[in-house]
Chains A and B, each alone.
Chain A
Amino acid sequence: MAALQDILQEFHRIAASPQELLKSYLGQGKKVVVCSPVYSPEEIIHSMGLLPFGTWGADMEIREAKAYFPAFICSIMQSILELGIKGAFQGVSAIVVPSLCDSLKCLGQNWKYAVPGIEFIPMTYPQNRNTDYGKEFTKAGYQRVIKDLERITGETFEDGKLHKSIEIYNAHNQAMREFSEYAGNYGAITAADRNAVFKSAYFMEKSEHTALVNQLVDALKATEPGKTKKLRVVTSGILADAKELLAILEDNSIQIVADDMAQESRQYRVDCPPAGTALDSLAGKFAAMGNCSVLYDVNKGRASYITELVQEKRAEGVIYVLTKFCDPEEFDYVIVKKACEEKNIPLLQIEVDRQMVNYEQVRTAVQTFSEMLG
């Protein structure tokens, strides 16, 4: 168990220190590119010898960003801009912002003027993505990113190198899926532990992260899961990152057995398929992605994806972690709620915000949910 705890500690250390890590990467002469939610093409950045560094904002008070965003834009966008204005990303080469929701479109436009020292690179994805013309447009978006990266960093793109990076990212996907699978069955893995493993992925080179995750999974395999009386729950939403929220889940004996979170498993469900070129392969991955509030889905497959996940993982309920002002998630909630009702799956919606200070309402709701199901 000692080894397991040591590895977990390492994930916690990494997840808790993005600023220090970024400084250290820059100090080592690495060229870093910030990747904003929801799906930045990290593989391309990685293949050009640059370090993709993910951000989902931070729990903080918003001050400077208020001059750019009205209050009803989600706090993930607000806090990313706030971090940028306050110099948290100083020294990086650029930021990539995919415009998959209306607020992300605005983040890119505001960034140009709020953080003039760090160049904004747009990534424009198609919503009708799984068609020939959709894939071509995805590739055109990638080519635009490549052109900008080459101009800004002086590095060059080669399809062969992208192929190698895709292998690294596919292996990472596999490792993350395996971790999620194991973690759900080990009562000792808390919601905060799980978060640290997923969050740290954004701050590390992926092959290094894969190695650490594989160590963790090996350590888990060597440990008896043990009998746990914790409540088995599936989480869904954009992100569940706040320390207070994670503590509340643990305090109420909630075990996350699987997730449908944008910051977590949605990143790792789909691998790049084999294709003629590596860029085609990457476009193929985006084409195959789904079950996500910012990706067009006329069949609302996400709702049945969640209910099937609940059944498959023998979960007892769903916690829908709604990021305030995230309208894609707010729309999906109603459909997910109905799907859960049809299957008699208990569902709790909690609203979170990166500026939230008081979690008592969330605590009460989780407590009631837990008692109801316990």
Chain B
Amino acid sequence: MGEEGKPKYVPDPNSAKAKLGNIAKQHYDNLWVAKEKGEMIGWCASNFPQEIFQTLGLTVCYPENQAAAIAARGGGGRLCEVAEGEGYSNDICAYARISIAYSQVKDIEEQNMPQPDYLLCCNNICNCMIKWYENLAEELNIPMILIDIPFNPDYKVSKEEIAYVKGQFLDAIRQLEEITGKRWSDEKFKEIMKISNRTSKAWLKATSFCKYSPSPLNGFDLMNHMAVAVCARGTLEAAEAFELLAREYEESVKNGTSTFRAEEKHRIMFEGIACWPHLRFTATQLKSRGINLVATIYADAFGFIYDDFDGLIEAYCNVPNAINLEHARDKRIALVRNNNVEGMLVHVNRSCKLWSGFMYEMSRQIAEECSVPLSTFDGDQADPRNFSEAQYETRVQALTEIMEANKGVR
């Protein structure tokens, strides 16, 4: 096969990378064990308040993670077409199409997970989540719980919004107790909040090392590690693994080493979800030009820091896609400045109307405020058909040339 003789790369088992990889793998393994034991399995939105089901001791899995994994392993197009065959438009979010298709196909080689007994939905990332989960609930005839966190048109979260979400939070606990027979414990809830904060702090600390020049990490690492921030935020193992990751980055800064295996000539902010089906190509095009990804709002999307119950709700109301343009812009401006970003590469993601729908204006404002060049490209988080290598390459090249000109390198 041409690859014979080339040893497969195995990370040091004591490294954060290996530990995080194991947590992600363990997550899927545990699901099957739980299913075999007869436990009920939930399918859960990535930004659903995990403190709820962690406290109840429920086993859930994440269709968004699964769809990303399927897309990264080459199955996105095939599953999208299955959904389209059922009548789903090819304009619908590809994660949703893949997930709905998987709920029918049930067994694939890229990434299996057990079928759900109930659904936990939260729309703080988009209202498309509601429709996706409504359809799953209808097609599979299983209960669905929605925690509705509306898009906030104001800069700050209002007390009325906190009260509304809190009401739903308490209702969700009651419904889940009924569905699963598990019981809520305030003590456990406190413990879970503590661990979740610890994990989030460690995750945010690790991502903050991007501010160093050169950065001790290849920014694409964050896209991979993020899976753990999504699926295991409330676990000690995840907290410890992220703390280890932060220590490793700290060490790398001291030693001048990096997981970015090229000279870091340019530092960019990448906007949007990765193009999972074309991850290698998109990353290589950057690396070959010495461009490292040192900022992405997506990474911070899963760092929830809070002091109490109201603070927890506020944190879930403040996720990147639930906030207004000014708030979203200012968060990014802070990232650009803190991390010495020299250019912006914006993924206009056909799957994500909300993320892309006011991105042009917001990007213009960030670029102007921070005096950095901006380049956009059309793509998709999981449908391989909505991406052009040629366009990507041209746009990245254009961005590189402006960044070089800005440095007077020419």
Contacts and interface: CB of A to CB of B under 8 A. Distances in A.
Given A106-B353, A109-B361, A334 B151 contact: no
B151 A296 contact: no
Contact of A126 (B138, B148, B359): B148
Contacts of B298: none
A140 interface: yes
A127 B134 CA distance: 13
A102 B138 CA distance: 22
B92 interface: yes
Contacts of A140: 158, 160-161, 164
Contact of A297 (B91, B134, B160): B134
Interface stretch (A26-34, A235-243, A259-267, A320-328): A320-328
B358 A110 contact: yes
B325 interface: yes
B131 A128 contact: no
Most buried by B among A105, A136, A299: A105
A332 interface: yes
Interface residues of A, number: 52
Nearest to B322: A105
Interface in B80-103: 86-89, 91-93, 96
B148 A106 contact: no
Interface in A103-136: 103, 105-110, 112-114, 122, 124-128, 131-134, 136
Given A102-B128, A126-B148, A327 B167 contact: no
Q: Which of B128, B161, B357 has the most CB of A within 10 A?
A: B357
A72 B358 contact: no
A335 B171 CA distance: 27
Given A137-B160, A327-B128, A113 B361 contact: yes
Interface in A150-196: none
Interface string B269-306: 00000000000000000000000000000000000000
B127 interface: yes
A255 B342 CA distance: 61
A124 B151 contact: yes
B326 to A, nearest CB: 9
Interface string A77-111: 00000000000000000000001111101111110
A70 interface: yes
Interface in A242-283: none
A353 to B, nearest CB: 11
Interface in B30-63: none
A97 to B, nearest CB: 9
A289 to B, nearest CB: 15
A325 B91 contact: yes
Given A102-B127, A127-B130, A136 B135 contact: no
Interface in B315-333: 324-325
Interface string A50-79: 000000000000000001111011000000
Nearest to B100: A334
Given A133-B166, A296-B146, 13 more contacts: A68-B358, A103-B357, A108-B153, A127-B148, A127-B150, A136-B164, A293-B131, A298-B134, A299-B138, A322-B89, A327-B89, A331-B88, A333-B89
Interface of A: 67-70, 72-73, 99-103, 105-110, 112-114, 122, 124-128, 131-134, 136-137, 140, 293-294, 296-300, 322, 324-325, 327-328, 330-335, 337
Interface of B: 86-89, 91-93, 96, 123, 126-128, 130-132, 134-135, 137-139, 143-144, 146, 148, 150-154, 158, 160-161, 163-164, 166-168, 171, 324-325, 348, 350, 353-354, 356-362, 378
5 contacts: A103-B357, A109-B358, A124-B151, A131-B168, A140-B160
